[in-house]
Amino acid sequence: MRRAWLIAAMAAIPVRAEPPLPVYPGTVHTRIGDDLIIGGEHFRIAYFTTRDALTQVADYFFQEWKRRGLPTAVDGDFHTEIVVSAFYTRDGLQRSVVLRRHDGKTVGFSILRDLWVREALAPETEPISLEGTLFSQQLVARDDAGQTKHLSALIKLDLSSAARELREQLANRGFTLSRETSLTRPGDRGLVLQHVAGAARVHTVLTAVDAGLTAMVQTWSPQWPPGTASSGRESSGETGEGK
């Protein structure tokens, strides 16, 4: 009887729906990874582009969140970058949009941050830094391979130049290019590169966002396949961190 009451009580607890990311009307939002951990905090991130003016996009989110009665803040130089944030105090969430102007377009990053959940910080790792990087973020996610590192960046380079610099930097860190293919999604122009060093693997997707502008999404797996035992310097955490 007691067990049946417990099951009924648990079933009656409402399930919290996945909170949506901020969305700008008329644009396609592309998620960067799944649930991500940045500095011990949980995030979801997506990016979008629009020809609407920087201030027009910022004003849309500001007015929408103020209309809902949410505490809202705005920051930036209001010429090349604007950040709009709203705080959902009851849910422990912060929604933000980071907006930058580039070649006549507004590039936006939609961000959802959980203010109540924190994780232990992962060991520091050195990210790849390409010349012309406009925005970059290092993320950490837990999976079967351990603390997998994710890097995302918006780079002021054309696709071929970004790919060339990436190959050179990874080669200098002891990684070997094991596979390179072109994106097969209709309407997309990009490359998929896979580098290995012992049990470590770096998987990179480069996508041409606009003329002279490339988006990079990169995953560093310290062990591949997951569960591979480390042996020797090449397959140690040092190599997986690109040292």
Q: Could you tell me if 193 and 228 lie in one domain?
A: yes
Give the separation between CA 207 and CA 217, rounded to whole angstroms. 9
Residues 6+ apart with CB under 8 A from 69: none
Between these two residues, 223 and 222, which has the higher pLDDT value? 222
Q: Could you tell me if 116 and 146 lie in one domain?
A: no
Separation of first and last alpha carbons in the chain: 60
Q: Could you tell me if 187 and 197 lie in one domain?
A: yes
CA distances from 97 to 21, 22, 94, 101 (A): 9, 7, 10, 13
Instruction: Tell me the three state secondary structure of residue 206.
Output: strand
Query: What's the CATH number where 206 sits?
Result: 3.40.1000
Q: Could you tell me if 159 and 82 lie in one domain?
A: no
Q: Could you tell me if 98 and 108 lie in one domain?
A: yes
Query: pLDDT tens-digit profile of 113-154?
Result: 888 876 654 443 455 678 888 877 776 665 554 567 778 888
- Which of 66, 91, 120 lies at the terminal end of a domain, its last residue? 120
Q: Could you tell me if 40 and 139 lie in one domain?
A: no
Quote the pTM value: 0.48
Query: pLDDT tens-digit profile of 76-116?
Result: 888 899 999 999 988 889 999 999 998 889 999 999 988 88
Tell whether 189 is covered by a domain: yes
Overall domain count for the chain: 2
Query: What's the CATH number where 112 sits?
Result: 3.30.310
Tell whether 1 is covered by a domain: no
Residue 91's domain spans which residues?
20-120
Tell whether 4 is covered by a domain: no
DSSP 153: E
Tell whether 12 is covered by a domain: no
Region of 4 (left: φ > 0; alpha: ψ -120 to 50; beta: rest) is: alpha
> How many residues in total does the chain contain?
243
Tell whether 46 is covered by a domain: yes
CB 93 within 8 A of CB 113: yes
Region of 94 (left: φ > 0; alpha: ψ -120 to 50; beta: rest) is: beta
Tell whether 98 is covered by a domain: yes
Tell whether 107 is covered by a domain: yes
